[in-house]
Amino acid sequence: MKKNRIRNHKKRGAIIKFGFVMYFAFCLFAIVWLRASVVNIEYELGDLETQRADLYRDRKIVVAQRASFYSAEKIENVAIKRLGMSLPERENIYFVKRTASAGVYKASSKNSLGRRLR
């Protein structure tokens, strides 16, 4: 009976030791895997930062090109050369005076005394 207890106790101790070793190995593997994941994410962040800087530089170039396309001189040159337009003669220019705009017309169902019409 005593031998059985000692044998069961040794088996239980071996199982507990094996469990601790497996737990330690699993934790070690998890730490290494997490570290590798963090390094991989850092590389991806570096690539994204580089891509962001490139896109920002491209955006600045495009904004400058757009500004040059909308410049008055560029529009004037396109109108004269491609569309065949010409600068107006002084006699052909008419100035229009601004007048006050018409106000909103409000139709009311009340007469001048403030009573409702039937």
- pLDDT tens digit sequence for 18-49: 999 999 999 999 999 999 999 999 999 999 99
Q: Which residue has the higher pLDDT, 99 or 107?
A: 99
State pTM to two decimals: 0.46
Dihedral sign, Cα of residue 74, residue 77, residue 81, residue 83: positive
- pLDDT tens digit sequence for 52-99: 999 999 999 999 999 888 888 888 888 889 998 888 888 888 888 888
Q: What is the pLDDT of residue 10?
A: 73
